[in-house]
């Protein structure tokens, strides 16, 4: 029997709590699952058997990268501790390359779970957002970069990741 909460975008994570996300879709319709399956293009900077990292197409800054597992899950509650640890370890490695390539002064990890937390794509992901000291305390707006700029940054991050341990 189909779960009626699924049509409402409510993710069942435990008997005690449900996370609302109107962006909930089955894996075959998930944009990140489509990227993992190569059904959609992306500015991929890293990929292994379980995870991938690619540039955000509506970034807060140059080099803003999304790191996510290939396996579909909507929130970190859908992952075990080792998977969460692996995802953040990879995000840390990616952050070193991103900060170096864009000459940032720091970076943010942002990981949203559910619509109330501003999760737009209902697939677990960590934002790696490089920041500059000059922007400290300022509201961050989404930026636009040309395909040429995105390709160039992605290529540089891919090269740098190979050097980062």
- The 8-class DSSP code of residue 75 comes to S
Asked whether the predicted pLDDT for residue 12 surpasses 60, the reply is no
3-state SS assignment for residue 86: helix
Which residue among the candidates 64, 123, 125, 127 is catalytic per the annotation? 125
Asked whether the predicted pLDDT for residue 108 surpasses 90, the reply is yes
* pTM passes above 0.85: yes
With DSSP H G I counted as helix, E B as strand and the rest as coil, what are the percentages for the chain, rounded to 5?
35, 20, 45
pLDDT of residue 18: 67
pLDDT of residue 1: 38
pLDDT, tens digit (0-9, with 9 covering 90-100), for 129-147 = 999 999 888 878 899 999 9
Helix (H) or strand (E) holding 100: helix 81-102
Structural domains in the chain plus CATH codes: 4-163 (3.30.428.10)
Q: Taking every pair of C-alpha atoms in the chain, what is the biggest distance, in angstroms? A: 55
pLDDT, tens digit (0-9, with 9 covering 90-100), for 111-129 = 999 999 999 999 999 999 9
Question: Is 72 one of the annotated active-site residues of the chain?
Answer: no
């Amino acid at each position: 029997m189909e779960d009626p909460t699924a049509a409402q975008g409510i993710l069942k994570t435990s008997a005690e709590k449900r996370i609302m996300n109107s962006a909930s879709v089955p894996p075959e319709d998930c944009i990140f699952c489509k990227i993992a399956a190569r059904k959609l293009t992306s500015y991929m900077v890293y990929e292994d058997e379980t995870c991938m990292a690619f540039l955000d197409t509506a970034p807060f800054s140059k080099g803003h990268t999304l790191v996510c597992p290939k396996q579909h899950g909507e929130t970190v509650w859908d992952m075990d501790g080792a998977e969460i640890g692996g995802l953040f370890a990879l995000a840390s490695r990616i952050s070193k390359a991103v900060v170096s390539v864009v000459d940032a002064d720091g970076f943010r990890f942002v990981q949203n779970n559910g619509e109330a937390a501003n999760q737009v794509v209902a697939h677990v992901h960590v934002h790696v957002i490089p920041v500059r000291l000059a922007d400290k305390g300022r509201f961050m707006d989404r930026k636009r970069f040309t395909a040429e700029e995105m390709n160039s940054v992605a290529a540089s991050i891919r090269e740098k990741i190979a050097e980062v341990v």
